[in-house]
Amino acid sequence: MSEVETDLAGALGAIADTEPLINAVTNNVTVNDVANVTLHWGGLPVMSDDEREVGDMVAAADGCLLNMGTVDEAGEATMLTAGGAASEHGLPLVVDPVGVGATPTRTRVATRLVEELDVTVLKGNHAEITALSGADAEVRGVESVGEYAEIAERAVSCAREYDTVVVASGETDVVADAEGAYELAVGHPMMGQVVGTGCMLGVTLATFAAGIELDRPLEAALSGAVGFGLAGERAATDGSYDGPASYRIAFLDAVAGMADRPPESGNERIERVLSA
């Protein structure tokens, strides 16, 4: 049992009541899934990625995601503008440093984002979080390679260095702040067979952070990550699928059905594994 109580039903109700507008500056591989999963959680997606307007769009929004999956020079400028607007207006900001550690350019851009912006939640896979913590990591393309037995320690290190909450996704998800780390026993192996589940998790965290008070980022991250994993389980057990493509549809349907049939609690899936 965790020391942080999550209330998934309450979080889903708050999202439904407020319909938070989330501006996602995201990659062009999974932009449609990112928009849909925002809508299915009860939020409103907008995908503004033009530096000329993104500051104004974020100012009118309730949360922001920056996903650097296909970032180019213009995209870097757009993300800095969007993130700056989120900080200026006190909005939750989620940064997904996709592929950090794979190339010097990605490492430079990711480091700039986390150092220059006021990041509410930093979400990456085990290798990306390890790389940002300054330890050796193996990233192939945008995928995590290898074993990361010390991911809880790496996540806490990242949380302390960048003054944020960290979500390290993988076979076992880890959520950490400066005070410690939690392991989440949620999800299904099929989630790893669908391109874009990491991107969808990032915008899920932004949506939950916008629905929960800004001063409770750890609770928002835990709730969002647990809810996301439970949706993955429901897609496998309640849905009908023949492979990754149909599982993806079942997953989106499971997310859309969570508000009508919310889990009683996700706390039993959370275990504190490291205390500062």
Q: Is 42 annotated as a binding residue?
A: no
Round to whole Å and give the CA distance between 231 and 168.
18
Dihedral sign from CA coordinates of 53, 55, 59, 63: positive
DSSP category for residue 47: -
User: For the chain, what is the radius of gyration of the CA atoms?
Assistant: 17
Distance CA 71, CA 98 (A): 9
Residue 1 known to bind ligand: no
- CB 20 within 8 Å of CB 43: yes
- Which tokens in the block code for residue 232? 């993955």
Residues 6+ apart with CB under 8 A from 246: 240
The answer to whether 196 is a known ligand-binding residue is yes
200 is in an annotated binding site: no
Please enumerate, by residue number, every residue annotated as part of a binding site. Answer: 47, 123, 169, 196
Binding annotation for substrate:
47, 196
Query: Which residues sit in the known binding site for ATP?
Result: 123, 169
